[in-house]
Amino acid sequence: MIAALPQTEAVALFNRFFGVDARAQAAVWDRLAWEQAAWRLRQLDRRLASDFVTKVSLAGVLLRLGRRAEAEDALSAAHALRRRELVPAQSLLAILFATLGRMGEARQVLDEIVADPALRVQAPAVNNAAHLAFLTGDVAFLTKLARLSEGHADCHVPLILLDVIEASGLADQLKGHQDIVRAVIRPAQCWIDINIIDDGDWPPMIAMLSFVQADPKARRRLERDLVDRLADFYEASGKPPGIYIPYFGTHLISLPECEAAAL
Amino acid sequence: MIRPSDILAEGRALLALPASQRTEARRRTIISRAYYAAFHFLRAHPCSQDYRKSGNTAAGMHRQFITFLATQSDRRVVYAADLLKTIYENRVMADYHIGRDILPDLERRSVEDADYIMCEIFD
């Protein structure tokens, strides 16, 4: 069992910007709010240089603002300070590594959670690990997570993702697919999120939302490039070019400031 | 009788309302209009002349249609399928998952994606 995090200012900022429902809040789409958060987290970081939550939140905010070099530094520092019992913060650490394409580190961070019997049955840990397994196309890891989640009602993500992969018949192609997605969008990517969309049919659809630093024209070019490269990949495997589309896909979303700059 | 562009025009008209009048219900309506505009445009487009709905699959009509488009050899059609699927997912969120918040700006993105399918991809 895990104690609640003490409600420090850093935790409040973490919850506001990275909590489960944070992405739907209008404030989280306000660049000024992110700038203010970066400023405040920097102050906190000077005072509490060894605080993991402060450091990983700072890395997330900087990445969201497109300051990739600064974010990478903060992320490396957060990695050194990581505390696996702080599952939400540890999960954010993994997501930030994945956003930057550092999949090995992302996997290591999540492995540390799921390898701990006290932590691994927590839904956020297992479900976040499943998202990452999907993003890397690691069906074996996903299968392992599904076994871990047996009997735990809230840990449903691994099984859903496995159902989608099985229904698509693309288990052998998933890693290649995700490698291409990463190669195309990683340079512009500032945040990722996975949505499971249930329209009443089975299986549901999997949507990876990728928030990119790209104005609308550049985003369309990225979208088209991604569709073409995936089509080449599937055709080379003897399959129809967009066979994955009914099952899973990547939606590129320009950051609001990139939209505004284009007007 | 109306055309797909009329459906999209209705979505655009709602999108043009001041933010204070763009209630959540209207935002969800805009997303739905955007999807159906793009869907009917593609149903009427020559690229789908060979499409036949099958009764031998568990998938609903919309997913069947997206699957048909996604498996065509013309890359423009595959790209259109990808965008249509995105708006379809937005529409599922807007019309069925009413207890969950929808992303800020989702209605504008849905209209832009529909507009891109209808005015750009095949030009």
B58–A246 C-beta distance less than 8 A: no
- Stated as kind and residue range, the H or E segment containing A212 is strand A205-212
Q: ipTM value of the model?
A: 0.94
Considering only the beta carbons, identify the residue of B71, B102, B112 that sits closest to A243.
Answer: B71
A246–B66 C-beta distance less than 8 A: yes
State yes or no: pLDDT of B74 exceeds 50: yes
What is the tens place of the pLDDT at every residue in A41-95? 999 999 988 999 999 999 999 998 888 889 999 999 999 999 877 888 888 899 8
Tally Cβ neighbours within 10 Å of residue B27.
20
Domains parsed from chain A with CATH numbers: 174-262 (3.30.70)
User: How many A×B Cβ pairs under 8 Å?
Assistant: 90
Give residue A28's pLDDT.
Answer: 64
B93–A200 C-beta distance less than 8 A: no
What rounded mean pLDDT belongs to chain A? 88
State yes or no: pLDDT of B70 exceeds 60: yes
Residues on chain B touching A200 (C-beta within 8 angstroms): 60, 96
Q: Which two tokens stand for residue B4?
A: 């797909």
Three-state DSSP at A93 gives: helix
The whole-model pTM stands at: 0.91
Give the gap in angstroms from C-alpha A213 to the nearest C-alpha of chain B. Answer: 16
Three-state DSSP at B51 gives: coil
Residues on chain B touching A242 (C-beta within 8 angstroms): 69-72, 78, 81-82
pLDDT band at B17 (very low <50, low <70, confident <90, very high): very high
pLDDT band at A1 (very low <50, low <70, confident <90, very high): very low
Residue closest to A16 by CA, chosen among A1, A37, A2, A35: A37
Give residue A174's pLDDT.
Answer: 97
pLDDT band at A153 (very low <50, low <70, confident <90, very high): confident
Burial of A171 per CB tally in 10 Å (0-12, 13-18, 19+): middle
Considering only the beta carbons, identify the residue of B60, B82, B116 that sits closest to A249.
Answer: B82
Q: What kind of fold does domain B4-119 have according to CATH?
A: Four Helix Bundle (Hemerythrin (Met), subunit A) (1.20.120)
Average of pLDDT values for A178-204?
91
